[in-house]
Structure 1
Amino acid sequence: MLCRPNSSASRNQQAWAAVPYGPKLHDFLQDEFLRTFWTRLMRNPIGALRELWAPIARYWPDTSTTLLSLAEDADLLSTGLNFEQSAGNVAEYFDIPLIMLHHFPMRPNGQLLPMLPARLVRSGGLLSEWLLWRATKDADDAQREVLGLPRATRPSAFRTARRGAVEIQAYDAVSVPGLAMEWAKWGDSRPFVGALTMGLTTGADQDVAAWLAAGKPPICFATGSIPLESPSDTVEMISSACAELGERGLICAGGTDFSEITIPDHVKVVGAVNYAAVFAASRAVVHHGGSGTTAASLRAGVPTLILWSSADQPYWGNQLSRLKVGAARRFSATDRNTLAADLRRVLLPEYAVAARAVSAQMTSPTDSVTKAADLFESTAGRKAV
């Protein structure tokens, strides 16, 4: 198994042999770039996209070398979003099937921005694929030349689709209304399996469970893996908003260090927790809007407030608003007053009712893993087109 250096998979090798692959997360994209990406995109779209895609081209040769050393005699090659273009070329070289794991609707579609005409949104996605290919074409051409493959004339997504690649959609169709119908023409090549999670327990789970049992369900704040710029201001904002609403607050710190900050009695700060257990025991959840965390809050059946910063986060915020199970706001535009107002809104009874209804349509974690495993088994050994 190839995994990002310093990832949980690379540290937990009981079930598989983990090989470092690609750069560390913070070497790939800097925190500051992620926080300011959408501002940059609005000011200079082409420049922002080039900066976003530059690491793909920079690390392309290294990923190709690693894959070539390990994929020979493999029955199948699987890849995540990053470097799927490099993996596609290697799969073509060895003539083996390819599975791509998408935690977000990556291919052009008309559902990501429901406030805009579907045709316009779909065309924008198609343009983005062509721009990505042009921005990384030198790396693509160089790899294909080394492998003795024909020079590419179309983006990687077109080439892998022609070879019969399976693009597993690791999220639920219900979370993006209309997408399953729009993509029905792709048949079994874009199956929806639901979010994949290992459901690991953590050392904080018992302590958190005791705190949860000692009072009414809290509002859970999952801050994500990217460190917050000002932890003290964040705690002040959260504690003030919760106090105004008469709620308890549980902050799941993730990548932020809160150890030097005084925490009020009605707020508890912990590190990594089991989101499935904690979210389900909360009255509402506030998080950054990443694909995995969004799926966890939807499965929990509780209202969600997404305070987004970058990447796919605003898109998931749009979808939750569309489903009427939550709301979204840019994190940099959030203060104590807006947080209290947004929470007051999502705590209305109709949001809880809608959240429970969507939760009932979500694929269970066990079924998601089973569906994905079945796809791997049925695809392995199958000759690519």
Structure 2
Amino acid sequence: MRVLLSTYGARGSVEPMVGLAVRLRELGAEVRVCAPPDEEYAELLAGAGVPLVPAGAPVRPLVTTVVPGSAVGLAQRAADLMAAQFGTVAAAAEGCDALVATGPLPVTAGGRSVAEKLGIRYVHASHTPVSMPSPHQPPPARRGRPMPPGVADNRELWDLDARNANEMFGETLNAHRAAIGLPPVDNVRDYAFTESPWLATDPCLSPWQPTDLGVVQTGAWIRPDERPLPPELVAFLDGGTPPVYVGFGSMPLGDAKGVARAAVEAVRAQGRRAVLSRGWAELVLVDDQDDCFVVGETNHAALFARVAAVVHHGSAGTTTTAARIGVPQVVVPQGADQPYWADRVADLRIGGAHEGPAPTVESLSAALETALAPETRARAAAVADTVRTDGATVAAKLLLGTVG
């Protein structure tokens, strides 16, 4: 069995596909992953023993230079990404039995078209429920396409979202399809999603309310990580009480120095030490005191098991890791689906949701006080027992059972 996994985006889009790839290989499948050519993704896949087929432009320079919410250059970036699906991804899919795609519509609509042309199985996967059409939630706004004010009916908003998707991507998609002898599609979004998309999130953290869409919720796809923590970090952890972790992953920050200072002072106000994750925001130490430590890429699960609380941006991956470890968390959402995960953390009472993306010493201190309370830690430990860790295995068996 040969399977191609295709994705494009920041680390939260790539790492779950690595988790699925590992489980597929354990079950005897031959797997390759089409992903951005960023060096860290190449290292991530090499560490898992999974071949990388570079597709599209590097993501990190794009994420760290594009103005948040700006649509400048979007059409060309989408066209280039779509072309990569009909070029690089199509070539990689030759001889495969199935293609699993996740990411923006140029990736998934292009991926399904490639699978259609080759006559192989196609699966759309999402690592967040907010992008899934549902009458229970509004759609996220697309760049340059704000939702009209005053419209409260979610079905109407999803219909508008489908029209926006057609206007943004339909002409380009259908031109590529025509070039390989495929008929046009009149609904790009629904074509990409299929009637039975997979939702790779934990049912406890992210319950899906049934809709007309036949969503298959597998559980989160967790990449196995057995790496030991760096010796210097272990020495810091062993040198005092459990610190508070602060990191924003692949999110750039408009004022990284200000956020780092506010976070460190808020942590100190709670009588705690701090571990800062450098991330794409390039967080650094704010002074020369010995109660703070900066770490690069590391084993989050191992680190989170040693800290008192986790302050983060609210990606699906970090939220799930903290939840399954049972450590209280404070989510400071920067955008995209992160407000959703912040709300879920608050609703489950396993931490706090910070209001807005720019924490102050006072606002973060208040959120940390909630997260560090004994009742929050007890609740986080209880919820951890309900979080599934077999999502990638479930998805791998489902895929192989479907196409095998």
2:328, 2:380 within 8 Å by CA — same for their partners in 1? yes
1:223, 1:287 within 8 Å by CA — same for their partners in 2? yes
2:63, 2:252 within 8 Å by CA — same for their partners in 1? no
- AA aligned opposite 1:81: G
Q: How does 1:305-344 map to 2 (within 5 A)?
A: 305-329=330-354, 332-344=357-369
2:185, 2:191 within 8 Å by CA — same for their partners in 1? no
Gaps of 5+ in 1: 41-47, 114-118
**Is the counterpart of residue 274 in structure 1 residue 299 in structure 2?**
yes
- What's the counterpart of residue 45 of structure 1? none
- What's the counterpart of residue 127 of structure 1? 160
- What's the counterpart of residue 184 of structure 2? 151
Shift of 1:60: 0.9
- What's the counterpart of residue 19 of structure 1? 53
Shift of 1:260: 7.4
- What's the counterpart of residue 182 of structure 1? 210
- Judged with a 3 Å threshold, the aligned counterparts in structure 2 of structure 1 residues 245 and 291 are, in CA distance, closer, same or farther, namely same
Give the secondary-structure state (helix, strand or coil) at the position aligned to 2:332: strand
Give me the whole-angstrom Cα distance separating, in 1, the residues matched to 2:179 and 2:357: 45
- What's the counterpart of residue 237 of structure 1? 262
Deviations 1:197-227 (A, max 9, x none): 232526x533323322322221111221334
- Judged with a 3 Å threshold, the aligned counterparts in structure 2 of structure 1 residues 278 and 126 are, in CA distance, closer, same or farther, namely farther
2:257, 2:286 within 8 Å by CA — same for their partners in 1? yes
Q: How does 1:1-385 map to 2 (within 5 A)?
A: 1-11=33-43, 12-13=45-46, 15-34=49-68, 37=69, 55-82=77-104, 83-105=107-129, 106-112=131-137, 120-121=153-154, 123-158=156-191, 161=194, 167-177=197-207, 179=208, 181-183=209-211, 186=213, 190-199=216-225, 201=227, 204-258=229-283, 261-329=286-354, 332-364=357-389, 367-381=390-404
Give me the whole-angstrom Cα distance separating, in 1, the residues matched to 2:189 and 2:268: 51
Give me the whole-angstrom Cα distance separating, in 2, the residues matched to 1:331 and 1:52: 26
Shift of 1:18: 1.4
- What's the counterpart of residue 146 of structure 2? none
- AA aligned opposite 1:26: R
- Judged with a 3 Å threshold, the aligned counterparts in structure 2 of structure 1 residues 227 and 359 are, in CA distance, closer, same or farther, namely same
Shift of 1:280: 2.1
Give me the whole-angstrom Cα distance separating, in 2, the residues matched to 1:102 and 1:131: 20
Decide which structure has greater helix share: 1
Give me the whole-angstrom Cα distance separating, in 2, the residues matched to 1:331 and 1:303: 19
- What's the counterpart of residue 145 of structure 2? none
- AA aligned opposite 2:160: L
- Judged with a 3 Å threshold, the aligned counterparts in structure 2 of structure 1 residues 111 and 208 are, in CA distance, closer, same or farther, namely farther
- Judged with a 3 Å threshold, the aligned counterparts in structure 2 of structure 1 residues 293 and 259 are, in CA distance, closer, same or farther, namely closer
1:201, 1:274 within 8 Å by CA — same for their partners in 2? yes
- Please say which of residues 271-280 and 11-20 is displaced more in the overlay: 11-20
- Judged with a 3 Å threshold, the aligned counterparts in structure 2 of structure 1 residues 13 and 265 are, in CA distance, closer, same or farther, namely closer
- What's the counterpart of residue 17 of structure 2? none
- Judged with a 3 Å threshold, the aligned counterparts in structure 2 of structure 1 residues 130 and 323 are, in CA distance, closer, same or farther, namely farther
- Please say which of residues 90-99 and 150-159 is displaced more in the overlay: 150-159
- Judged with a 3 Å threshold, the aligned counterparts in structure 2 of structure 1 residues 315 and 337 are, in CA distance, closer, same or farther, namely same
Q: Could you tell me the percent identity over the aligned residues?
A: 26
Gaps of 5+ in 2: 1-32, 139-151
Shift of 1:176: 2.2
Indicate the RMSD between aligned Cα atoms, in angstroms.
2.9
Shift of 1:63: 2.3
1:28, 1:55 within 8 Å by CA — same for their partners in 2? no
1:88, 1:156 within 8 Å by CA — same for their partners in 2? no
- Provide TM-score, normalisation by structure 1: 0.82
- Judged with a 3 Å threshold, the aligned counterparts in structure 2 of structure 1 residues 142 and 251 are, in CA distance, closer, same or farther, namely same
2:204, 2:387 within 8 Å by CA — same for their partners in 1? yes
